[in-house]
Amino acid sequence: MDISGIKMYQFNPHGDDRGQLIALEGMISVPFDIKRVYYMYDTAFGARRGRHAHKNLQQILICVSGSCKVLLDDGTKKIIVNLNRPDEGLYIANNVWREMYDFSSGTVLMVLASDIYDESDYIRDYNEFLAFVKRGNE
């Protein structure tokens, strides 16, 4: 994808006549050790989530049910990705601003994270994010 720190992963379903099953293993199907999993559901109509970047955390977003859009911004370029497949994972490296929106009703957005929750790893102010990325590139 034409933005740094972003990659779409295609997961292999184990399908048979009973249906589909996807297994995800740290350092095998995703490029980091999975230390935390969380998921968003019952998202309010029109809600916008995320609106932050991480200094160190890596994540993979999987829309296990339903659909949503993700705006990604590396401080230079912005792209919008549609997530609507349970067999696709959107990898987001650190230093990428993300906003999730346009959740369809019933959407479950699951996130695999490379570390436990740490509020000090968040950058929640967009101008601070731009300054942080600029400093890193100097």
Q: Among residues 35, 77, 104, 117, which is the contact residue for ligand TYD, using CB under 6 A?
A: 117
User: Using CB under 6 A, which of 52, 55, 69, 85 touches ligand TYD?
Assistant: 52
Kindly state the number of chain residues that form the binding site for ligand TYD, as judged by CB under 6 A.
6
Residue 49 in contact with ligand TYD, rule: CB under 6 A: yes
Q: Which two tokens stand for residue 76?
A: 């230079």
Q: Determine if 109 is a binding residue for ligand TYD (CB under 6 A).
A: no
Of 50, 53, 58, 97, the one binding ligand TYD (CB under 6 A) is: 50
Q: Which amino acid is at 4?
A: S
Active-site residue, 54 included: no
Residue 42 region by backbone torsions, left for phi larger than 0, else alpha for psi between -120 and 50, else beta: left
3-state secondary structure 32-84: CCCCEEEEECCCCCCCCEEEEEECCCCEEEEEEECCEEEEEECCCCEEEEEEC
- Min dist CB 21 to ligand TYD, Å, is 25
Q: How far apart are CA 125 and CA 46, in angstroms?
A: 21
Least Å distance between CB 114 and ligand TYD? 12
Q: Is residue 41 near ligand TYD by the rule CB under 6 A?
A: no
> Are 88 and 10 contacting, i.e. CB atoms less than 8 angstroms apart?
yes
Contact set with ligand TYD (CB under 6 A): 36, 38, 49-50, 52, 117
